Amino acid sequence: MNDLVIQNIKELVLPKKTDKPLKGKALDELEIVENGTVVVKDGKIVYAGPHTEEYEAEETIDATGKVVSPSLVDAHTHLIHGGSREHEMSLKRQGASYLEILEQGGGILSTVESTRKASEDELFEKAEHDLLTMIHHGVLAVESKSGYGLDKENELKQLKVSNRLAEKYNLDMRHTFLGPHAVPKDAESNEAFLEEMINLLPEVKEYADFADIFCETGVFSIEESKRYMQEAKKHGFDVKIHADEIDPLGGLGLAIDEDAISADHLVASSDEDKKKLKDSETVAVLLPGTTFYLGKEEYADARGMLENDGAIAIATDYNPGSCVTNNLQMVMAIAALKLKLSPNEIWNAVTVNAAKAINVDAGTINEGDKANIVLWNAPNHEFVTYKYGVNHVDKVIKDGKVIVDRDLSLK
């Protein structure tokens, strides 16, 4: 006897199981099954496809009028942080740029101060609330970065909180050491601080899967970023990079040269570097919610990357300064409007490709996969990327068990 059957599914979304990220035109290939059925046993998918009544189960869910998909993957978040920065909104309204706010002691450095002051338990409680919000919006795999400590004690504190959350909720979480996220006020020099972060790599390896660096004007140069990435790889890290967010320094090209698992942001990446994506498995993780929140007109060139047969994913970049939403559905809508991506491309970008960007077994619901599933209050898969700013989730199923059931009736 199976544990669960989901029947009468209006549309069943089935991203392709693949060993490598989907690239170029393949990102627009998505199997949509009308009147579908999903069968679950022992937390695994037994069947996902056209309607069948061959399977019996202890529990049946009627998904009439609903979309069913794999749970979502958020491949870039700054989940663990202290404080908030709503006071910076007035500076933004006056036209202050991200780097100008940083120079005034705001931005990342303001969050560093709040994070350092917060205890591990305080950070845990705050991040837990944010993580649960993400789960309620259909996300069951998350990448969580440090980077608001900028010293040994507080970087480790963030990573320990991230690991505690993963253990408590048994989630597919990946943890990223982003020690070189900014240069603290009291640093002797960029070079000295970078050396301090490099020396931390052996110790943080116990708590982190990836090593990341912010390669940008006023932060770390291409040469500094290259040195950090090469040292991180020596210690067994897969590497990531915050690249070309504001200025076209060549961070995407560096990521490709260093076989980074992902390069993130990429708003200002050069045409030359985008062409290199064709021969690379590096995933370009695009963060349109950040561009939207910062009020910028120029978004990452998703279409150009795909035309060069690149692999892209979409993520929130949830953080307290430049993208304060942890609603990946909202970012999916922005990707449709501003990155000019099709619904199929977006679904693949927040499932199978996002999973590849953080090396997690997620994003598909084929036979043998984890039964991590979302039921959507939507008549078709395009509707989720069309109606923005609301939560379309009906149910979230983790390992075959319903963990979120959004009854929209009034009590």
Tens digits of pLDDT across the chain (411 residues): 899 999 999 999 999 999 999 999 999 999 999 999 999 999 999 999 999 999 999 999 999 999 999 999 999 999 999 999 988 887 877 888 767 777 776 788 899 999 999 999 999 999 999 999 999 999 999 999 999 999 999 999 999 999 999 999 999 999 999 999 999 988 999 999 999 999 999 999 999 999 999 999 989 999 999 999 999 999 999 999 999 999 999 999 999 999 999 999 999 999 999 999 999 999 999 999 999 998 899 999 999 999 999 999 999 999 999 999 999 999 999 999 999 999 999 999 999 999 999 999 999 999 999 999 999 999 999 999 999 999 999 999 999 999 999 988 887
Q: Annotated binding residue at 129? A: no
- Cα torsion through 396, 398, 404, 405, rounded to 10: 70
- Which one of 2.30.40.10, 2.30.42.10, 3.40.718.10, 3.40.50.2000 gives the CATH number of domain 2-70+364-405? 2.30.40.10
Rounded to whole angstroms, the Cα distance separating 146 from 214 reads: 12
Q: Annotated binding residue at 87? A: no
CATH number of 73-357: 3.20.20.140
| Boundaries of every domain in the chain | 2-70+364-405, 73-357
* Unique residue bearing structure tokens 């504001």: 246
For residue 184, give Cα distances in angstroms to 20, 72, 149, 196, 377: 38, 34, 9, 12, 46
Q: Annotated binding residue at 148? A: yes
Q: Is 0.75 surpassed by the pTM of this model?
A: yes
> If you count DSSP H runs as helices and E runs as strands, how many of each does the chain have, helices first?
15, 17
Rounded to whole angstroms, the Cα distance separating 408 from 78 reads: 30
Q: Annotated binding residue at 245? A: yes
Q: Annotated binding residue at 317? A: yes
- How high is the pLDDT of residue 259? 98
Q: Pull the structure tokens for residue 306.
A: 């795909």
Specify the amino acid at residue 128: E
Specify the amino acid at residue 326: N
Rounded to whole angstroms, the Cα distance separating 313 from 21 reads: 9
H-helix or E-strand containing 395? Answer: strand 393-398
**H-type alpha helices, 171-246:** 190-204, 222-234
Q: Annotated binding residue at 319? A: yes
Sign of CA dihedral 131, 136, 139, 141: positive
CA 103 to the chain's CA centroid: 28
- How high is the pLDDT of residue 319? 97
Q: Annotated binding residue at 242? A: yes
